Amino acid sequence: MTSGSNSGDICNGIFRDGLLGKTPPYPTNIHDLEALAKEQLPPELYAYVADGAGNNTTLRDDRRAFGRWKIIPRMMRDITTRDHSIELFNDHLKAPILLAPIACQDAVHPEGEVAVARAAAAVGVPMVLSTVSGKSMEEVGDTPRWFQLYWPKDNAVTKSFLQRAEDAGYSALVVTIDTKSTGWRESDIAHAYLPHLRQKGIGNFLSDPVIRAALDEAPEDNFRAACAHIFAVHRDLTQEWDDLAFLRDNTNLPIVLKGILHPDDAREAVAQGMDGIIVSTHGGRQVDGSIAALDALPPIVEAVGDKMPVLFDSGIRHGADIMKAIALGARAVLLGRPYIWGLAVGGEDGVRQVLEFLLADYDINMAQSGLTTTAQLGPDILRRADE
């Protein structure tokens, strides 16, 4: 990434051993890769990953929002040395990208989150491991990684998760606050609500000492009892801003709130002593008809100022998207569905291809725009589109 990613470099770097063992034309475009993934996954599992809430309105709007901004590239600048890396909390990121937390990756590929973590480490960006992970947080290799928390009702379980994340070397805690319940996802209901996820995504639960202790007390330590307990401790509809003090008191990790769309909620996050926020529509999976994440970003950046980093999630597909989100004030972006398509098609190699391509796309688009560091991205490189 630091120099000379001209076309030759790209070829050499990317086409080792053929691309995912295939012959040309390769699935280069993310839409082609998604089509391949769709062929390989059961339809209900594909729909679970691909679809959003309700009428998919927000899913589409998240993408369209990027089209309303255009980049004005600058010429005749020395672009030989490029360094897109950023420092974020305790990590050095080769590029301003993280892998968004996505549940149940063991349903997509047997190696699941372990494969994803390896690919992320290979390209030098952190993954955010979901609470609802197929592998336990201890099983996922010691690479730069953050832990995402679906905040359980049971404080003992919460404390256990926080302690385990610290012990296992996670560098930050992402608390998802937009998902007290699942969104109205019609394709999931159409498929009788997620039978393909049965026994998936429970790595962190089954391995948890607090949960296991509770199960030992149950008459039969079977799967049904485990699930009942998991659902009993999972998600608390009552949680309010003040309750965040409990998390603040029980972890030394930086806490990042994920799922904020209103500037006043961003201000509240600052007031509660949080360390960062992620502007996100949860990939269009929660409130059908909500504001597009990118449209929500500028007023939130203005509200927060330099009090904490604002990250961005929902809709990132191309290098230009990264440039736009950061130019509008995001410190870094999270990538979601695209790496799952890579995982489905090629496991670790597939995820790595998606990441390498996205980073090459970002590097080249930056260079062509006359920009050599992520810090140079600001509103002056953008123009609001007329369409």
Site for its own copies, residues 222 to 281, rule: CB under 8 A: 231, 235, 237-241, 243-244, 257, 259-262, 264-265, 268
Residues 288-307 that bind its own copies (CB under 8 A): 288-292, 295-296
Residue 71 within binding range of its own copies, rule CB under 8 A: yes
Residue 109 designated active-site = no
- Tokens, residue 166: 């610290």
Q: Which stretch binds its own copies (CB under 8 A): 53-61, 90-98, 214-222, 329-337?
A: 53-61
Torsion sign, CA atoms 145, 146, 150, 152: positive
Residues 156-195 that bind its own copies (CB under 8 A): 177-178, 180-184, 186-187, 189-193
* 69 vs 170 by CB, closer to its own copies: 69
Q: Judged by CB under 8 A, which of 78, 220, 249, 306 binds its own copies?
A: 78
In the chain the first and final C-alpha atoms are separated, in Å, by 34
* 61 vs 106 by CB, closer to its own copies: 61
Q: Which stretch binds its own copies (CB under 8 A): 56-64, 88-96, 158-166, 202-210?
A: 56-64
Kindly name the residue from 109, 196, 282, 318 that is annotated as catalytic.
282
Give the DSSP letter of residue 325: H
Residues 348-387 that bind its own copies (CB under 8 A): 357, 360-361, 364-365, 367-369, 383, 385-387
Torsion sign, CA atoms 359, 363, 368, 373: positive
Please state the φ and ψ torsions of residue 252, each to the nearest 5 degrees.
-95, -5
Residue 286 within binding range of its own copies, rule CB under 8 A: yes
Residue 197 within binding range of its own copies, rule CB under 8 A: no
Q: Which amino acid is at 62?
A: D
* 44 vs 83 by CB, closer to its own copies: 44
Q: Say how far apart CA 99 and CA 340 lie, in whole Å.
A: 10
Q: Say how far apart CA 319 and CA 121 lie, in whole Å.
A: 19
Return the bridge partners of 98, or none: 334
Q: How many CB atoms lie within 10 A of CB 155?
A: 14
Residue 79 within binding range of its own copies, rule CB under 8 A: yes
Q: Which stretch binds its own copies (CB under 8 A): 75-83, 98-106, 114-122, 303-311?
A: 75-83
Residue 64 within binding range of its own copies, rule CB under 8 A: yes
* 288 vs 348 by CB, closer to its own copies: 288
DSSP H or E segment with residue 88: strand 86-88
* 238 vs 252 by CB, closer to its own copies: 238
Q: Min. distance of Cβ 202 from its own copies in angstroms?
A: 16
Identify the CA nearest to 173 among candidates 198, 151, 148: 148
- Tokens, residue 194: 């997620």
Q: Min. distance of Cβ 342 from its own copies in angstroms?
A: 15
* 52 vs 203 by CB, closer to its own copies: 52
Q: Which stretch binds its own copies (CB under 8 A): 156-164, 216-224, 285-293, 308-316?
A: 285-293
The answer to whether the CB of 300 falls within 8 A of the CB of 277 is: yes
Q: Min. distance of Cβ 143 from its own copies in angstroms?
A: 27
Cis, bond preceding 219 (omega within 30 deg of 0): no
What single string gives the DSSP state of each residue in 182-235? ----HHHHHTTS-GGGTT-S-HHHHT-HHHHHHHHHSS--SHHHHHHHHHHHS-
Residue 53 within binding range of its own copies, rule CB under 8 A: yes
Instruction: Decide the pairing of beta strands 333-335 and 97-99.
Output: parallel
CA 82 vs. chain centroid, Å, equals: 25
Residue 148 within binding range of its own copies, rule CB under 8 A: no
* Catalytic residue annotation: 282
